[in-house]
Structure 1
Amino acid sequence: MAREAGLIRRGVFWLLLLGPLFFLSYGLSNSYTAGRDDVGSLVFAWERHMPLWPWTIIPYWSIDLLYGLSFLLPLSRREMDRHALALLSAQLISVSCFLLWPLRFTFERPELAGLFGWLFDVLMGFDKPYNQAPSLHIALLVIIWAMFARHTQRPLWRWLVHGWMALIGVSVLTTWQHHFID
């Protein structure tokens, strides 16, 4: 199938709409919830045994780049719009859950130095502990992963895409488990 004309412009439009909306809604929901006194936590026993792998902050952060690049892949307006609306829906559902049923992360992350420590510090400057469930990162990952999988045909590239996306999924467990303290 040939690519429809004007899709790059349409993708940029969607990205310019969804990017700021993401940061605004996510940031405001965290700020609002920080002032609440009815925020609980939910911790499973197995979570206490998850390791902190500082290097997984790299795949964790890479979803931001892949989010933007995913708008270069659709071949039709319909595919582009469905992709954008899926990302928007995941965001609206997750942020609504963060506001309606806030859950706080409760694990402590040890001090980290170097590049990984700096990346964690930058993340913590924006990402607050009031977004435990559902995992917006995983929801966005599934949508982005599906887009890349549809448009990656060569076997080696396909394996690399699947491997990296799986690593992003693992990074949610190995970066977040140690961020916050009771």
Structure 2
Amino acid sequence: MHAHILLSMEGARFTPLRPFKPLVERLDATAEAHPQRINLWLGLCTIVVMSIIYYCTNRLAIWHGMTWSIPIIDLIDGRFLWKWSIIPYAAFYPILIWSLIRPCRNVEISKDRLAVFEGVWTLVMWSNLIFLLAPNTVPITDLVDTTWKNEGGLTGWLWLALDQADEPSNGFPSLHVSIMIFLAIEMSTRFKPRSAPVILMWLTTTIIVLSTLTTGQHQVLDLAGGIALAMIAARSILTSEDTIESSGSIGGKRGLEAP
């Protein structure tokens, strides 16, 4: 077992596009002996670590006051704020948590499951480096009246929780957008095209992506940055040579499941 791990680590090469590849290969090499690492504990550790990192970079702008502003796209940014959009915006969090802690399906191999983790880790690392070096402000809520945030009820509570937990300095690129799109692409590689799970996932992703605009948390260019990162991560991780070999398929399709 130890020799197998060493060989796996020797074959792994660090690259900016796949910075966690050596760790993923080591986890894959020990997956059979320690399946619980992937099924639950890895997800819980990921949630805790990414929350701490995000909290620190989110408060960085307050500490040093060095921020920049994303150009506002007229007639779109800040013009369509809607109080109910906080519900799909907040739905991102349970979706992310479930994708990280859910047990492996019977048809999944460890490399398929680890692709989700590697994608989330990579997007979180890339995004937080940008947040760290160039935190930005999101002034679009000043463009319209948003007093309805204080109306109470479910939406009022969600708005209050968001305002207390999230400073508007981690806008570009949008992690909501990049992670949701990556998860949707990853699911599309496992299920048949136009199957119910794929359609539902892409519909959910679209609603959550649009909600980032209608909550005033992000601007159009934040979405563009998130989409770009998701596409780069998906191309680097989901269609990589070793991922294709793990399923014996071509073009990155990793063992298509029936709906």
Q: TM-score normalized by structure 2? A: 0.61
SS for the counterpart of 2:136 is coil
Identify the match of residue 174 of structure 2 among 132, 135, 151.
Answer: 135
CA deviation after TM superposition for structure 1 residue 38, in Å: 2.0
2:92 is matched with: 63
Q: Which has the higher contact order (CA 8 A, sep 6+)?
A: 1
The residue type equivalent to 1:61 in the other structure is A
Q: Give percent identity, aligned residues only.
A: 23
Identify the match of residue 157 of structure 2 among 118, 126, 141.
Answer: 118
2:52 paired with 1:12: no
Alignment of 1:72-83 (within 5 A): 72=102, 75-83=108-116
Identify the match of residue 43 of structure 1 among 71, 86, 110.
Answer: 71
Change (3 A) 1:60 1:177: closer
Which consecutive segments of 4 or more residues in structure 1 shift more than 4 A? 4-9, 151-154
| Structure 2 unpaired stretches of 5+ | 1-30, 219-259
SS for the counterpart of 2:137 is coil
2:82 is matched with: 53
2:136 is matched with: 103
Distance 1:13 1:155 in 2: 30
| Structure 1 unpaired stretches of 5+ | none
Distance 1:174 1:8 in 2: 39
SS for the counterpart of 1:107 is helix
Distance 1:148 1:81 in 2: 13
2:65 paired with 1:26: no
> Is the CA contact (8 Å cut-off) linking 2:184 and 2:198 kept in structure 1?
no
- Whose radius of gyration is greater, 1 or 2? 2
